[in-house]
Amino acid sequence: MDDPRLTPARPDLAAKYLEGKVKAARFVTGETFEIVDAIAPVRMAPSSEAELMTQALKGERVTIYDRNGEGWAWGQLDRDGYVGWLPDSSLARPQAAPTHKVTAIRTFAFPGPSIKLPPLNTLVMNSLLTVTSESSAFAVTREGCYVPRGHLGDPDRFEKDFVAVAERFVGTPYLWGGRSSFGIDCSGLVQIALNAAGTGCPRDSDMQQDGLGSDVDPAQSGKLQRGDLIFWKGHVAIARDKDTIVHANAHHMATVIENTTEAIARIRASGSEVAAIKRL
């Protein structure tokens, strides 16, 4: 069966590219929009009370197939293919290709060229911006926001060590479906870190287990290398070295660095064994 998280198909409507592959009452081509809010929730149903499945970040593109007229739009994120409902207010027609991305885990957008002004917004890592001018201290976006220049980079330049990126999120609160330093989950941490290093990455831990790297014998958990991914049912952690991992987890309700042997024992005590180790 096609994964509903990655397949824009419902009994009443589906993406045109799925015609002949799935059953639906009608097929639509869809329209491309961009995310204009700093962070937009992607929910399982068109309700602010529905489960948060993931988040879309400013500047990311999404193909919208349906708008319910009650403030919600249903579509598929371009970056990782995730399907869900987004607030209509978070969407706008793309106006220009992004020129910069946010490389800090968080930064502020000011209304003018002074850090003493009250910020208009807070932007997060991997957000995409269109910059129209630059000074020594600020980059000015097409919306007229002033963002510290040192917190931005070229969209085509990437971090060398994705583990070091993940380590920068230590202390971030755990949030199911989260993809930012305001709140992040285990697979969101892996995805954001790998994306910052220029590696494509599926959204959820089971997708990551199936789609990333090559298998390492789980019995070799004492011989981990930096960057190895350790999977349990519904969870993933990143090896920092042979002795420690960094992961966002609900036990600590935060992103933490933890002794690998102790983490494996603690998770085993809760009923889950290591399912796989992947080497990128």
Per-residue pLDDT tens for 40-99?
999 999 999 999 999 999 999 999 999 999 999 999 999 999 999 999 999 999 989 999
Per-residue pLDDT, averaged over 98-103, amounts to 98
pLDDT(1) > 70: no
31: β partners: 64
Supply the DSSP symbol for 118: P
Query: pTM of the entire structure?
Result: 0.96
Look at residue 255 in the predicted model and tell me its pLDDT. Answer: 98
Residue in 264, 220, 217, 224 with CA at minimum distance from that of residue 272: 264
Q: What percent of the chain has pLDDT over 70?
A: 99
Residue in 216, 218, 185 with CA at minimum distance from that of residue 279: 216
Residue type for position 164: A
Looking up tokens 């999977």 gives 231
